[in-house]
Amino acid sequence: MTSLVFSNIGELTTNDPTVGDESVMGRIKGAALVIEDGKIVWTGSSANAPAADSEIDVEGSAIIPGFVDSHTHLVFAGERSEEFAARMAGERYDGGGIATTVNATRSASATELRECTQSRLDALRAHGVTTVEMKSGYDLTLEGEVRLCEIAGDFTEETTFLGAHVVPIEFKNRRDDYVALVAGEMLDRCAPLVRWADVFCDQGAFSVDEARLILSRASERGLSLRLHGNQLGHTGGIELAVELDAASVDHCTHVSDLDVEALAGSNTVATLLPGAEFSTKSEYPSGRHLLDAGVTVALATDCNPGTSYVTNMGLIIALAVREMGLSVDEALYAATMGGAKALRRPDIGHLRLGAKADLAILSVSKAAHFAYQPGASLVRAVHIGGKTPGFWG
Ligand code: NIG
Ligand code: FE
C-alpha cells in the first residue's frame, strides 16, 4: 500500500456535506487530502495531515473532484464548421448534418478514429474531466456500430450504443426496417460491448414509440438506459425517460410543467448541455426552474461535431451560470456529482472517504474561477484513481 498526501490546498471541494463548511460542497480551506491505493482515505486541515509515503505541495491551488462528463459523442471523423457558420447566420438545426459525419466516419480507418478520439479525450482531461461517457452513433451499419462501440470501449467503461441516432439514408423509405435492425441484430452484437443504450428521441429522429421499443429491448439485454430528449421540441422524450427509469434524459431544451413534475418525482437526472444551445443558437432552458422543483441536474459537454464541439467543461459551467440561472456552486456540483448520478456511479463525483481518487488540481485558488474566467485553462493536472495521466502547467 502506498499513500500520497496533497498538502497546502487553498480550497478543497469535496462534495461531502459532513466536512468543512458543511454545505453540500463540503469546502475546506487550507486543506490536505490523502489517497491510498487509488482511493480517498483522509481529508482535513493541512496542519493535521497524517504522514504519507509521498507528498505533493500544491502551493495554495484549489482541488476539486474531477469533472464527470456524462454525455459525449467523441468517436467521429470530419468536421462541420460550415454548418455551424450557417446556423450563426440564422439556419435552424434539424439533425440533418448527422449524415455528413456518418459519411466521414464510415470512410475513416480504426486507427484514424482512435487518434482523433484520443486527442479529444486529452482536451477534455486538460480541462479537468476524469470520467467520460462515449456514444456510438456515427456509422449506423451493423459492423460499423460494432466498430464504434469497440473503439469507445478502448477509452472508457461508460460506453453507450446509439444505433438509433437517426435513420440512415439507405433506410430512408424503410424506417421500420431500420428500427427492427437496431432493436434486433445490432443490439445483439453491440450490447455485450457497452454499458448503456441511448436513443435520439426527437423531431426528425425517432418517435416515442420507436424509442420505447429499442430501449425496452436494450434493457432486456442487460443495458442501462439514457435518452436524448426534448432538444428540438416537446416530443415526449422526458416522460418516456421517466417511464423507463432511464438514468438520465439529456438536452431538456424544451420542458413543460408536467415534465418537471415527472422528473422531480423520479430517479432520472436532467442533463443540461448548454454547449448545444450555444452552437445551435437556441434558447437555453432554465436550470433554475428544474433545481427549484427538486430535479437532479447534471451538466455535460455533449462534445460532437454538429451541435457542440466543446471540450472545455469550464466553459459549460460558465454558460450554465450565465444563461441557465445556476449559481456557481450549483454548476460545479452538476458537473461533478450531477454527472456521477447521471451515470449511476456512487464512487465518483466527490472526494468522500472511500471515493475513487479522481480529482483536478487547479492553477487558481478557488473553483469559482471556472465561471469567473470563462473558457480559461485552469487545470494544472488531473489524477485518475490516484494516477496522473498528464500535467499541463
Ligand atoms: O446531442 N441530438 C443528437 N445528437 C447530437 C448531435 C448530433 C450531430 O448533429 O452530429 C446532440 O446534439
Ligand atoms: Fe448528444
Question: Is the CA virtual torsion 36, 47, 377, 252 positive or negative?
Answer: positive
**Are residue 234 and residue 336 in the same domain, yes or no?**
yes
Residue type, 31: A
**Are residue 195 and residue 290 in the same domain, yes or no?**
yes
**Are residue 243 and residue 369 in the same domain, yes or no?**
no
pLDDT in tens, 187-220: 999 999 999 999 999 999 999 999 999 999 999 9
**Are residue 45 and residue 128 in the same domain, yes or no?**
no
**Are residue 15 and residue 39 in the same domain, yes or no?**
yes
* Residue 59 grid coordinates: 502551493
Q: What residues contact residue 81 under an 8 Å CB cut-off, 6+ apart?
A: none
Task: Tell me: pLDDT of 392 over 80.
Answer: no
Number of structural domains (the chain) is: 2
Separation of alpha carbons 209 and 196, rounded Å: 19
Mean confidence (pLDDT) of the chain: 97
- Give the residue, out of 73, 75, 277, with the most ligand 1 atoms within 8 A of its beta carbon, to mutate for a pocket test: 73
Task: Tell me: pLDDT of 272 over 60.
Answer: yes
**Are residue 192 and residue 73 in the same domain, yes or no?**
yes
3-state SS class at 389: strand
Which of 304, 324, 342 is the last residue before a domain boundary?
A: 342
Rounded to the nearest 5 percent, the helix, strand and coil shares of the chain are 35, 25, 40
**Are residue 356 and residue 228 in the same domain, yes or no?**
no
Which of 309, 326, 342 is the last residue before a domain boundary?
A: 342
> Nearest C-alpha to atom 8 of ligand 1 is from which residue?
306
pLDDT tier, 393 (very low <50, low <70, confident <90, very high otherwise) = very low
Task: Tell me: pLDDT of 391 over 70.
Answer: no
**Are residue 56 and residue 197 in the same domain, yes or no?**
no
Which of 319, 342, 365 is the last residue before a domain boundary?
A: 342
What mean pLDDT comes out for the span 10-15? 98
Task: Count Cβ neighbours within 10 Å for each residue of 36-48 and write b for 16 or more, e otherwise.
Answer: beeebbbbbebee
Give residue 43's domain range.
3-66+349-391
Q: What is the CATH number of the domain that holds 379?
A: 2.30.40.10
**Are residue 49 and residue 78 in the same domain, yes or no?**
no
- What pLDDT is attached to residue 387? 79
Task: Tell me: pLDDT of 390 over 70.
Answer: no
pLDDT in tens, 120-132: 999 999 999 999 9
Q: What is the DSSP string of 113-131?
A: HHHHHHHHHHHHHHTTEEE
> Nearest C-alpha to atom 1 of ligand 1 is from which residue?
302
- Give the residue, out of 307, 308, 309, 310, with the most ligand 1 atoms within 8 A of its beta carbon, to mutate for a pocket test: 307
Indicate yes or no: pTM above 0.75: yes
What mean pLDDT comes out for the span 337-344? 99
Q: Which residues pair with 15 in a beta bridge?
A: none
Which of 66, 23, 98 lies closest to 337 in space, CA to CA? 66
Counting atoms of ligand 1 from 1, which one is nearest the CA of 280?
Answer: 12
pLDDT tier, 388 (very low <50, low <70, confident <90, very high otherwise) = confident
Task: Count Cβ neighbours within 10 Å for each residue of 14-28 and write b for 16 or more, e otherwise.
Answer: bbbeebbeeeebbbb
- Give the residue, out of 101, 165, 252, 273, with the most ligand 1 atoms within 8 A of its beta carbon, to mutate for a pocket test: 165
Counting atoms of ligand 1 from 1, which one is nearest the CA of 250?
Answer: 1
What mean pLDDT comes out for the span 367-384? 97
**Are residue 46 and residue 173 in the same domain, yes or no?**
no
Q: What is the CATH number of the domain that holds 187?
A: 3.20.20.140
**Are residue 71 and residue 42 in the same domain, yes or no?**
no
Counting atoms of ligand 1 from 1, which one is nearest the CA of 308?
Answer: 12
Residue the block writes with cell 459537454: 301
Q: What residues contact residue 316 under an 8 Å CB cut-off, 6+ apart?
A: 273, 274, 275, 299, 300, 301, 310, 335
pLDDT in tens, 57-82: 999 999 999 999 999 999 999 999 99
**Are residue 226 and residue 360 in the same domain, yes or no?**
no
Question: Which residues contact ligand 1 via a Cβ below 6 A?
Answer: 73, 95, 97-98, 101, 200, 228, 231, 276, 302, 304-307
- DSSP letter at 108 equals S
